[in-house]
Structure 1
Amino acid sequence: MNIAGALADLYTLQERDQELDKIKEQQELLPPELIEAREKWAELSARLGQLKERYLTLQREYKQNDLEIKDLTAKRKQAEDEQMQSSSVREQTQFENRIQQLSTRIDELTELTMPILEEMENLAEQIQALEAEMAEMKPELDALEAKNAERVAQLEAEYQEKFAKREEMAASIPKNLLREYQAIRRARKGVGVALVYAKGGVYRCSACSVQLPTHVAQRVYQGQQVVRCPSCGRLLWKGPQEG
């Protein structure tokens, strides 16, 4: 195969590659309704997580206070029992002071615990409401995800079919030229081969629009060697109009 024919096939291959690129882009492009549903679900999940974290923090604080109240209550009961068994006024007074101190601390903790319980009850209601909202939303989200998965699968089937034909086409192109094209295409936004077009006696690269030196354009039109654009580095082809 001569250079001109190989470049012509390579340009056709590039069209197939660009079709494949578009399919991949379509696969990654999510439907607006799915994006919206995912964002709402993420927002609700984050909010639910925050509420549950706060609830657990309060629960730990409540349990700590409750344990301390129970411990202090047991100590107060012991002090009351010992006071009843004491015989001296001094001991009676000491136990009375001890009982008073314990009672004061129990009252303080009880007063601190009540708002915690109230907030926990409020949080439990909010958590329940959020979980109900998410449970109601889940079937809709699942349906959108399933529909999108089906769409992606159909595109993948189309991609594989076209990719197989693309590989058949690529097999007829010289391997060294194909490797060069693929490297340029990866580096140059999916375009490895560019047409040369002439207007008003001026030759330009169709990819970067830079004016080509006359001797470069002449080498392209002669079709005897692989020529790259001196500006963007893409392979240059004279186009089908020149045969």
Structure 2
Amino acid sequence: MNGSDALAELFRLQEKDLELDRIREEQGNLPEDLKAARARWQSLEAELAKHQGDLREQEMEYRQNEAEIADLKEKLGRAKEAQRQAQGAREQTQYENVIQQLTGRYEELEGLNEPKFEEISRLEGEVERVKALMAEAKPKLEELEAANAARVEALEASYQGKLAERNALAATIPANLVKEYEAVRKSRRGQGVAKVARTGSGYRCMGCNVQLPMNIAQKVYQGNQIVRCPSCGRIMWKGE
């Protein structure tokens, strides 16, 4: 295989590589309906987590208040019994003060827990509402996920078939040329080979659109050696 033929095959190899790149990119591009369904699901998950967190906090505070209320009831009962058994007015007054303090705190907690109970009921309703929305959304999301998995699998099968063709073609090209091409391609956004275009003012590299010195263009058209673009570094080919 002469140099010109090798470059022609190398350009064909690049076309196959670019096609493989497009397949990989397509695999990663989610369908819009799946992206919307995932975003909706994530939004519902976040909303559910918030309501559940708020509910746990309210329930904990409610239980703490209820425990203190129960303790206050017991203390009030003991204080009232002690007041009944008190012998003098002074002792009666002391217990009265204690009873007033305990009663004040008891009423305060009762006042706090009544709206807290209502908030707990509201949050429980919100949790159930969001769970219902998630239950409704889940089948569609699963359907879209399955369809996307099948799409990705089909693309993977296509990729592997085209990869085998690509590797078979690469095996017919001198290994040192393929290695050089792959190194350039890696650093140049997937394009290691560029055609040379004849223009009114001379010749241009179609990879970077920079005008080529005449001596460089002549070497490309002679096809006796590998020539790299002095601007972008791509391997240059004169085309068919």
TM-score (norm 2): 0.95
Say which SS state the counterpart of residue 25 (structure 1) adopts: helix
Say which SS state the counterpart of residue 233 (structure 2) adopts: coil
For structure 2, the 5+ residue unaligned runs are none
Q: Could you tell me which residue of structure 1 aligns to residue 188 of structure 2?
A: 188
Q: Could you tell me which residue of structure 2 aligns to residue 208 of structure 1?
A: 208
| Counterpart residue identity of residue 33, structure 2 | E
Whole-Å Cα distance in 2 between the matches of residues 54 and 228 of structure 1? Answer: 65
Whole-Å Cα distance in 1 between the matches of residues 180 and 73 of structure 2? Answer: 84
* 1:41-94: CA deviation from partner (whole Å, max 9, x where unpaired): 111111111111111121221122112212222211221222233322222221
Q: Could you tell me which residue of structure 2 aligns to residue 109 of structure 1?
A: 109
Q: Could you tell me which residue of structure 2 aligns to residue 222 of structure 1?
A: 222
Q: Could you tell me which residue of structure 1 aligns to residue 159 of structure 2?
A: 159
Does residue 5 of structure 2 align to residue 5 of structure 1? Answer: yes
Q: Could you tell me which residue of structure 1 aligns to residue 231 of structure 2?
A: 231
* 1:116-170: CA deviation from partner (whole Å, max 9, x where unpaired): 1111111111111111011011001100100110011000001011111111111
Whole-Å Cα distance in 2 between the matches of residues 116 and 6 of structure 1? Answer: 80
Shift of 1:218: 0.6
Q: Mean Cα displacement is larger for which, 71-80 or 205-214? A: 71-80
Whole-Å Cα distance in 1 between the matches of residues 175 and 81 of structure 2? Answer: 99
Shift of 1:201: 5.2
Say which SS state the counterpart of residue 168 (structure 2) adopts: helix
Whole-Å Cα distance in 2 between the matches of residues 230 and 90 of structure 1? Answer: 107
Whole-Å Cα distance in 2 between the matches of residues 18 and 105 of structure 1? Answer: 76
Whole-Å Cα distance in 1 between the matches of residues 65 and 202 of structure 2? Answer: 87
Say which SS state the counterpart of residue 189 (structure 1) adopts: coil
Whole-Å Cα distance in 2 between the matches of residues 21 and 121 of structure 1? Answer: 55
Aligned-pair Cα RMSD in Å: 1.3
Shift of 1:226: 1.1
For structure 1, the 5+ residue unaligned runs are none
Q: Could you tell me which residue of structure 2 aligns to residue 144 of structure 1?
A: 144
Does residue 60 of structure 2 align to residue 60 of structure 1? Answer: yes
Whole-Å Cα distance in 2 between the matches of residues 125 and 197 of structure 1? Answer: 70
Shift of 1:200: 2.2
Whole-Å Cα distance in 1 between the matches of residues 174 and 75 of structure 2? Answer: 93
Whole-Å Cα distance in 2 between the matches of residues 58 and 196 of structure 1? Answer: 73
Q: How many residues align?
A: 240
| Counterpart residue identity of residue 124, structure 1 | E
Whole-Å Cα distance in 1 between the matches of residues 177 and 99 of structure 2? Answer: 95
TM-score (norm 1): 0.94
Q: Mean Cα displacement is larger for which, 67-76 or 9-18? A: 67-76
| Counterpart residue identity of residue 196, structure 1 | V
- Taking every aligned residue pair, what percent have the same amino acid on both sides? 50
* 1:82-121: CA deviation from partner (whole Å, max 9, x where unpaired): 2233322222221111011101101011101111111111
Whole-Å Cα distance in 1 between the matches of residues 177 and 82 of structure 2? Answer: 100
Q: Mean Cα displacement is larger for which, 163-172 or 212-221? A: 163-172
Q: Could you tell me which residue of structure 1 aligns to residue 83 of structure 2?
A: 83
